[in-house]
Structure 1
Amino acid sequence: MRTISVVTAVHSGAVGFLPEALASLDAQVLPNGWAWEWCVQEDGPETNAARHLRDDPRIRIGTSRKGGPGVARTMAFARSRGEYIRNLDADDQFPSGALCRDIEALETHPDIGWTTSSVIDLMEDGSHGKFDLGDPSPGAMSRGSAFEYWKTRYRPQVHPATLCVRRQLLALLGGWMAVPASEDTGLLLSLDAISQGFFTDEVGLIYRKHPGQITRDPAHGQGPEWEARMALIIERVQALRQWTSASLDEATGD
């Protein structure tokens, strides 16, 4: 069997959402010959994810010192075994067919390195809302296109929580960025700097809105920390783009 690894960072404030995340994972129907594993990483030793999950060999729980979601996801990736790595935050859910569509896109298009998809928001009252920043056309996303959109708005055109990545590319970048927030945006734009992506206009994630989200923190979108995060993302992307362009020129003899 080939494996797609789902990685989930969880802290004590979101651990109660894990059963719903697992139910959405159980509902996935994968292509023939494929199986999933779920690498859950506790961000801090007092999370106790096992209390909320069944005993299942496909579910592998690890614990690390508290370092934030980017560090926890990278630690989950370090324990994973799949050739494709798909993110699922502890408070979110997969809609039907999400993993199958990711696998089929990466299998059908060997020239792409990562996939993203459309998102719907799950509001606190149980209603759904459309997350839409101006979705790109479905299909391949040219290298650099995600950064060109982001750099004038500081918001990505596609939702980085939907990323599914080829293992080698994620290892090349060292996993998610080790910053307090925007770590998934940093990864998305870094992937965009070195490879083509793919956008699926079918919903690939149900994104829960609730008071405990990191994105609700005032420092998430303004202030010195935000400025430092944005500056680091830009510097990293520019360095990757320059390195990739130089490598392509060398390979083609230009």
Structure 2
Amino acid sequence: MSVAVSRRIVVVTAVHAPSAAFLPEAHASLCEQALPAGWEWRWLIQEDGRGDAVRPHVPDDDRISFRQGRAGGPGVARTMALARAEGEYVKVLDADDRLTPGALARDLAALEADARLGWATSRALDLLPDGSTVGFPGDPAHGPVERGAVLDFWKANDFRAQVHPATLFVRHGLLSALGGWMALPASEDTGLLLALNAVSRGWFSAPVGLLYRKWAGQVTGQQAHVDTAERAARAAVVEARARALGALGWGFGLGEDA
């Protein structure tokens, strides 16, 4: 990896036709990001499927790479985008969400300051259709998130993590070692988050880093997403993976004082 590419944040976005119209807003939020000298971002947009509805909404920016592929869900689309990812860090940005100013710089600062941290997350607010925002209850304290803490909280709170997987910022090598996102119809991002936390400490930034759009067409708002049997099956697979990784005894960034 060249020096220039190593100082790059790769932003990965899965998109399908219903959410494509929000891409310009996501792009605007990226353009507002100020990074330390020598650092840059590149945006990899991967359509979940092949059609003509998404491409017209992709902004004209040399920092953007757009590809299409066989439909398989957002986890598959993001993982396929990693084939062209060149950079030390990977940041998730859903097509219908917006970063807040300073979000990338805060994530970067946390991991650059401590080589033992594998990933970072931040506070998120729901962005409602009328433009107002609503916070999530139970955000953790600003600072490190210890190994296993996310799984414990998720298990005790009806499969809801205390940090939002849509805010994930992760070391590229660690993400690749874990195989990217899980092959699930949903909860693929939670599955990755729990796997990361099974093998590494993370970081939570208390300042708001993401506006998580709530709208009628989002995948997580559909009835299939809350189907009882499917939800239980997804949770079982996610938990089994995290516990298996934890039992292996391997960990990222472990040392004498870790």
Give the TM-score category using the shorter length: over 0.9
Aligned length: 248
Q: Structure 1 pair 47/93, CA: closer, same or farther in 2 (3 Å)?
A: farther
Query: Does residue 141 of the first structure (1) align with residue 148 of the second (2)?
Result: no
Separation in 2, partners of 1:101, 1:171: 22
- 1:119 matched residue in structure 2: 124
Query: Does residue 12 of the first structure (1) align with residue 55 of the second (2)?
Result: no
Q: CA deviation at 1:53?
A: 2.7
> Mapping of 1:17-166 within 5 angstroms?
17-46=22-51, 48-130=53-135, 132-153=136-157, 154-166=159-171
- 1:208 matched residue in structure 2: 213
Separation in 2, partners of 1:169, 1:201: 24
Q: What is the letter of the counterpart of residue 10 of structure 2?
A: S
Query: Does residue 227 of the first structure (1) align with residue 237 of the second (2)?
Result: no
Separation in 2, partners of 1:47, 1:201: 39
Moved over 4 A (4+): none
Q: CA deviation at 1:223?
A: 2.0
- 1:171 matched residue in structure 2: 176
Q: Secondary structure at the match of 2:46?
A: strand
Q: What is the letter of the counterpart of residue 151 of structure 1?
A: K
Q: CA deviation at 1:227?
A: 1.4
Cα RMSD for the two superposed structures:
1.6
Separation in 2, partners of 1:76, 1:133: 32
Separation in 2, partners of 1:13, 1:237: 32
**Residues 38-79 of structure 1, C-alpha deviations (whole Å, 9 max, x = no match):** 000001101543312333221000111111111111111221
Task: Indicate if the aligned counterparts of 1:10 and 1:47 stay in contact, CA closer than 8 A.
Answer: no
Mind listing any 5+ residue stretches in structure 2 that lack a counterpart? none
Task: Indicate if the aligned counterparts of 1:15 and 1:47 stay in contact, CA closer than 8 A.
Answer: no
Task: Indicate if the aligned counterparts of 2:27 and 2:59 stay in contact, CA closer than 8 A.
Answer: no
Query: TM-score, normalization: structure 2?
Result: 0.92
Q: CA deviation at 1:187?
A: 0.5
Counting aligned pairs with the same residue, the percent is 52
